Structure 1
Amino acid sequence: MRRAFNGQPLLWLLSPAALLLAWALAANSGAFPVQLLVPPQAVYHSFTELLVSGELREHLVASLSRLGLGFGIGAVAGMAFGTAMALSRNVEAFCGPLFHCVRQIPSIALIPMFILFFGVDDVFKVLIVTKAAFFPVALAACEGVRAIPRAYFEVASLYRLPLRSLLTEVALPAAAPTLLTGLRIGLSRAWMVLVATELLAGDIGLGQLIEMSRQMLRIDLVMVGVLLIGLIGFCLEGGFHLLEKRLLRWKPL
């Protein structure tokens, strides 16, 4: 099935084309008010207007910069913490219960508290994204390092590898498959949480573009934001998948 799918890349376009056709037929049928279900050509026209005016670029830069900064901090901190919790029983005993408790709290549930402490500026949004990325990455790093055969560490101890070499040359490479999965999940969650955060509080970003358009009853602009969010999420997932395949060329499919 995988080979057949890879041999027919045009199948990727089949479901989007079918959805676009169904959307156009439903919008032009007159069964729905035009204010509620705008046709695809109107959405495309609004997209080009936003693109030419430069407003769309501002929203994209704001959202992607918050995502990059928050995910970067959360991923690095998550890898460090998860590895430490896997290698040290003291860290696991001291931090484990709190870690597993806090990671069950949805990031969206923390938005009111974060607003009270940090306001509605970018700091608040970056911290929410950091939280959303930190826990999946930390959990994946912890489970990945724990799954490494003990013989690896015995050989490292025999050669008296320093801690830095143990981490960079043994632990993290051996845990790479699980860790990369955690990074991909963390990136996806961070993107969804960021959009939700921008919907609730903010003055710029794709989420805020949707919210302002909703208040003005501009469903065409709402659809532009929704489609861009889905497309960016798809590109992030696909790009990360390609990176994973490149880094794990040794792993059998």
Structure 2
Amino acid sequence: MTHLLDRLSWFVSPLLLLLAWFVAARAGWFPPQLLVPPAEVWASFRDLLASGELREHVVNSLSRLAIGFSIGAVGGLLFGTAMALSKTVEAYCAPLFHTLRQVPSIALIPMFILFFGVEETFKVLIVTKAAFFPVALAASEGVKGIPRGYFEVASVYRLPLWSLLRDVAFPAAAPPIVTGLRISLSRAWMVLVAAELLAADSGLGQMIELSRQMLRIDIVMVGVVATGAIGFILDFAFRLLERRLLRWRPTP
């Protein structure tokens, strides 16, 4: 019973927000051109869903996210591990790495547009950058936190590099790495939508921006809600995966 109540509590804040939205629209506190009633947004959502337009934008955005996140996450995992295991790599790369990771990905969008244009390459690369640094930092800190005795035992058995990574480093550093992956996925999704707002011919961000220019605030709200819902689903799915992969950890 308690578990069911906890699950139902998830819906309290969204329902309160929906109620406040309905009351504000019904009372006319804001012009109807700015605050569209929930019923109109729902009608627009159904129309976009029936026409297939919303599905097309969502598929395009998620495809870019999947490609960019995969490249950035794998690259970050390998680079962060190398920086933790090799003092040479850390000495030469750490200063530049810690400098670049402080630069917001959104701030790089104009530069990326100049270099790569507004085609798919630009959007995939900005997602790759957003995913790379959190994963690399999490991998580096996680591997550094592994007790040295683990590596001493691996040295005694003369494990090759791949076996060292697969059997020692990655399993021991799994909790911070998985957390880094989850954080990087959320950041990559937000950066992608922002990039699509500025320069794209498809995707949720482009749908929101085009609708704003046409003063279709109902479709803008559909895009905003869809963006938030997809972000929540991605994060929730990753949390479930994290619990499954790390089920051996004792719960506090």
What TM-score range do you get, normalising by the shorter chain? over 0.9
TM-fit CA distance, 1:46: 0.2
- In the alignment, what sits opposite 2:249? 251
1:173 is aligned to 2:171: yes
* Runs of 4 or more above 4 Å deviation: 3-7
One-letter amino acid of the counterpart of residue 112, structure 2: F
One-letter amino acid of the counterpart of residue 95, structure 2: P
- In the alignment, what sits opposite 1:20? 18
- In the alignment, what sits opposite 1:233? 231
- In the alignment, what sits opposite 1:35? 33
Query: Taking structure 1 as the reference length, what is the TM-score of the superposition?
Result: 0.97
Write out per-residue CA displacement over residues 30-79 of structure 1, whole angstroms, 9 at most, x where no aligned residue.
22211111111100000011111111111001100000000000000000
The aligned runs of 1:189-208 (5 Å cut-off) are 189-208=187-206
Write out per-residue CA displacement over residues 71-90 of structure 1, whole angstroms, 9 at most, x where no aligned residue.
00000000000000000000
- Please point out which of 209, 212, 226 is paired with 1:211: 209
Q: Is the 8 A contact 1:59 1:204 kept in 2?
A: yes
CA distance in 2, matches of 1:214, 1:238: 29
For the residue of structure 2 that corresponds to 1:36, the secondary structure is: coil
CA distance in 2, matches of 1:5, 1:135: 36
One-letter amino acid of the counterpart of residue 237, structure 2: G
For the residue of structure 2 that corresponds to 1:20, the secondary structure is: helix
CA distance in 2, matches of 1:4, 1:185: 29
- In the alignment, what sits opposite 2:98? 100
The aligned runs of 1:47-196 (5 Å cut-off) are 47-196=45-194
Structure 2 unaligned segments of length 5 or more: list them: none
Equivalenced residue count is 251
Q: Give the superposed CA RMSD.
A: 1.2
TM-fit CA distance, 1:4: 4.9
TM-fit CA distance, 1:5: 5.9
Larger deviation: 66-75 or 4-13? 4-13
TM-fit CA distance, 1:197: 0.3
TM-fit CA distance, 1:6: 6.3
Q: Is the 8 A contact 1:5 1:11 kept in 2?
A: no
For the residue of structure 2 that corresponds to 1:8, the secondary structure is: helix
Structure 1 unaligned segments of length 5 or more: list them: none
Query: Taking structure 2 as the reference length, what is the TM-score of the superposition?
Result: 0.97
TM-fit CA distance, 1:25: 1.1
CA distance in 2, matches of 1:152, 1:183: 24
CA distance in 1, matches of 2:2, 2:153: 43
One-letter amino acid of the counterpart of residue 31, structure 1: W
